[in-house]
Amino acid sequence: MTSTNLLEQLSNDLATSVDPVRFAASLGITCDPWQANALRSPHRRIQIVAARQSGKSLTCAIYALWYAIHHSNVTVLIISPALRQSQLMFRSILDFYAEMEHKIPSDIETALTLRLTNHSMIVALPGASERTIRGYRADCLIFDESALIDDDTYRACRPMAAISDAKIFAIGSPHGKRGWWYESWAHSDEYYKIKVTASECPRISKSYLEQERRILGQFWYEQEFECIFHQAEESIFRLELIEASIGDFEELDINLEDDEEESDNEVPLIDSSHELHLEHLDDLQE
């Protein structure tokens, strides 16, 4: 290698070490604008609500590998509702790692764990139960298919970020107006939010979307491709009607003291001596 080539290689290595978008380009991937925004964002909490097949999992796979390679002694955890889903993103990470020409060697490479010789590792975990994922610490947390990760699992994972103030990516598509995933999007300012509809993805054709709209119907099409949080179809009452019925009402003036006085003046069927009144004796005998 000539000195010129060596300088170019060092320049490229330096560029990819500080810029995950350049790192993606070194893997042959040209990022969409929103992907570049997510990868370069300085925010510690990023929520990506994106249409199916828009590239959200790919984006996080790129970040996970870039982060582990260019930062020593860090742990990246991938949390999905089921192990199979965690393995899908992890498989992409392993494929990218295998394609790299200049890389840090690994000393552990399994179906669920990649550990590098810089003591950084990436681990895929199932998030089906909060009881099975405790005990880890994380420097980067990735929640994939977040709408299907239940609240207890999400809450059990958050303390993993306590020491390092880990960067958190929460990615997925809408799945009803319920749970932490919806609440974070609709009512919280903790996350930096990115929304990507299918029409914004250059790899999804307009003809395909028109076909899906006809086949799926408006409800499912809007949820899966337009990133609209709908109330669940099986709900009896619409959420907005329930919320509208909850509010402040005028205080009712109920004078309980007067009611007690009136009840005291009533003539009981049985007096204090527990004897029947004579006026009711005939009725009892009939």
Residue range 101-125: mean pLDDT, rounded: 95
- Looking at residue 126, its pLDDT comes to 82
- Structural domains counted in the chain: 2
Statement to judge: residues 266 and 143 lie in one domain: no
- Looking at residue 233, its pLDDT comes to 56
- Looking at residue 270, its pLDDT comes to 46
Alpha helices, H only, 71-205:
83-99, 151-157, 179-187
How far apart (Å, rounded) are the C-alpha atoms in residues 142 and 242? 33
> Domain of 107: which CATH number?
3.40.50.300
Instruction: List Cα–Cα distances, 196 to 4, 33, 107, in angstroms.
Output: 41, 10, 37
Confidence of residue 142 (pLDDT cuts 50, 70, 90): very high
Q: What angle do CA 152, 123, 95 make, to 5 degrees?
A: 130
126 - beta bridge partners? 80
Statement to judge: residues 174 and 267 lie in one domain: no
Where do we find the tokens 């300088």?
7
Beta-strand (E) ranges in the chain?
45-50, 75-80, 106-109, 113-116, 121-126, 140-143, 167-172, 192-196
Q: Are 199 and 193 in contact (CB under 8 A)?
A: no
Maximum CA extent, the chain: 123
- Collapsing DSSP to helix, strand or coil, 141 comes out as strand
Statement to judge: residues 233 and 263 lie in one domain: no
Statement to judge: residues 104 and 205 lie in one domain: yes
Residue range 8-26: mean pLDDT, rounded: 85
Q: What is the pLDDT of residues 38-71, one digit of tens each?
A: 999 999 999 999 999 999 999 999 999 999 999 9
- Looking at residue 257, its pLDDT comes to 58
Statement to judge: residues 54 and 153 lie in one domain: yes
Statement to judge: residues 276 and 168 lie in one domain: no
Q: Which of the two residues, 234 and 84, has the higher pLDDT score? A: 84
How far apart (Å, rounded) are the C-alpha atoms in residues 211 and 225? 12
Average pLDDT, the chain: 85
- Looking at residue 276, its pLDDT comes to 43
- Looking at residue 256, its pLDDT comes to 52
Statement to judge: residues 168 and 265 lie in one domain: no
pLDDT value at 129 more than 90: no
Residue 239 lies in a domain: yes
Q: Are 164 and 194 in contact (CB under 8 A)?
A: no
Residue 6 lies in a domain: no
pLDDT value at 236 more than 50: no
Q: What is the pLDDT of residues 159-189, one digit of tens each?
A: 999 999 999 999 999 999 999 999 999 999 9
Q: What is the pLDDT of residues 237-262, one digit of tens each?
A: 445 444 555 555 455 555 555 555 55
Range of the domain at 266: 256-285
- Looking at residue 261, its pLDDT comes to 53
Considering only CA atoms, which of 59, 80, 82, 63 is closest in space to residue 71? 63
Structure tokens at 232: 């669940």
Q: Are 155 and 179 in contact (CB under 8 A)?
A: no
Q: How many residues does the chain have?
A: 286
Q: Are 52 and 208 in contact (CB under 8 A)?
A: no
Statement to judge: residues 141 and 267 lie in one domain: no
Statement to judge: residues 135 and 188 lie in one domain: yes
Residue 4 lies in a domain: no
Statement to judge: residues 43 and 157 lie in one domain: yes
- Looking at residue 284, its pLDDT comes to 45
Residue 9 lies in a domain: no
Residue 280 lies in a domain: yes
pLDDT value at 278 more than 50: no
Statement to judge: residues 157 and 82 lie in one domain: yes
**Could you say which DSSP state residue 257 is in?**
H
By CB atoms closer than 10 A (0-12, 13-18, 19+), residue 4 is exposed
Sign of CA dihedral 183, 187, 189, 192: positive
Residue 7 lies in a domain: no
The structure's pTM equals 0.78
Residue 261 lies in a domain: yes
Residue 218 lies in a domain: yes
Statement to judge: residues 164 and 200 lie in one domain: yes
